[in-house]
Amino acid sequence: LDFSPGSVFQEEVLRRFGKSVHHPSSSPFRLTESSVSFALTSCLGGSPASFHMQFLSDRHCCFSVLCKQVGFHVYSLRRFIGSSFDVYFHLWSNGSAHWEREKRLWELEQEKEWSLLIPSTRMLNSKLDPLLSLVLHLLFPCNGSLARSMANFQCNPQPYLPAGAHVEHGWQRPAQSRIALGGEPPRRHEDYAIVVMEPPPPEDAAMDSLRDVVDFLEHDYPVRVQSFFRNPLGLGLLQFQLATQCQILLDSSPIQFDANITIRVVKHDEATNLQACPYTRICRLMVLCFPLDYQTLDFYKAAVAPFCRLLAWHESPNKTKSFLDCLVLVPERVPHSFVVSQGSILGGSGCSWSAPVYIIGGHFPDGFPQEEDPVPADG
């Protein structure tokens, strides 16, 4: 290639604007899985390929070592500062500065909420190969007994992925996020239901089994299925022509499908992911310095959704403080502050504002009213 035209153009840009054509790079080498593996070899030894380097996000990678002892020793280094690169080691791949404190608080919160069940296979994890055990903690969500007890239901996402898509692993995502919604939603899907097959079919035969079930129901019952889809809560999600047709199958369940197979039709919102969730207290919150442009009912609902249901927002001319009446799951979930973040898809730029939160009063939810008095004999 002839680079002389480019050199002439580069000199012209430098002469006119005093700038280079490309963005200057602060890194002496391009950060790839291969180059980072060689960088680790230069400071930790070993073989670059044996680190099994995996890119996570900008300047963040995860890797594996031989055993836990080696992993903790690498972590104890905290960082390595060389002439051409710096490396910071974390046990969790998100690199959060306060991950240890956050993890302890999260574990305490989960211990209060869940009853820990110890399955008979618990000792299997203690016999794992050290390399595999460390890779699990570095690359994948933890599969210990606590994680298993927190699962809502077993779910294989593969059948629901768009063509060519895949699930990304390696992110240390929280176990769950709560959304406390208020009021009763309008019942707009009474013509939908979940169909469950017992025992369930093999994964590769699930769609064919769902078609067979639809044909069976339409043949043996006065119903018409408008559409059907696979669903992790059962064999599939069915949409009937009328809500009354759906009710016929709800009343008829369980239904004998074959000599050894039964099917059940359950309401779309009463499947295996339905759990009881008591709210324990009504609290009044005082929020200071909430961003003015976000002081609307919808934004306040979104702000408190992870821990409570918003009952009322007492709007006043004083925009410095806001008072919110909330139905709280447990007061321990109410944070000491909100962090309101605003992001843009243009370059991922964003900003955030913090707003202190205080509990200034509360009481237990009202009890049920007394039963009606018996009707007197004289009316």
Mean of all residue pLDDT scores within the chain: 79
258: in domain: yes
Residue ranges making up the domain that contains 230: 192-267
pLDDT at 339 over 70: yes
6: in domain: no
344: in domain: yes
pLDDT on residue 123: 42
Question: pTM for this one?
Answer: 0.54
Give the SS3 label for residue 180.
coil
- Taking the C-alpha atoms of residue 265 and residue 263, their distance in angstroms, rounded to an integer, is 7
Contact predicate 311/282, CB 8 Å? yes
369: in domain: no
- Pair (286, 246) in one structural domain: no
The backbone torsions φ and ψ at residue 352, rounded to the nearest 5 degrees and listed phi first, read -145, 160
pLDDT at 33 over 80: yes
Q: What is the DSSP letter of 191?
A: T
Instruction: Quick: pLDDT tens for 122-163.
Output: 444 443 333 333 333 333 334 443 344 444 567 888 888 888
- Across the range 1-14, mean pLDDT stands at 81
- Pair (141, 111) in one structural domain: yes
296: in domain: yes
- Pair (289, 356) in one structural domain: yes
- Pair (84, 119) in one structural domain: no
Using 50, 70 and 90 to split pLDDT, how confident is the model at 258? confident
- Choose from 109-113, 260-264, 360-364 the range with maximum mean pLDDT: 260-264
Using 50, 70 and 90 to split pLDDT, how confident is the model at 20? confident
118: in domain: yes
Over pLDDT 90: what percentage of the chain? Answer: 34
Which CATH number characterizes residue 216's domain?
Answer: 3.30.70
pLDDT at 209 over 60: yes
The backbone torsions φ and ψ at residue 360, rounded to the nearest 5 degrees and listed phi first, read -115, 10
Q: How many domains does the chain have?
A: 4
45: in domain: yes
pLDDT at 94 over 50: no
183: in domain: no
- Taking the C-alpha atoms of residue 330 and residue 308, their distance in angstroms, rounded to an integer, is 8
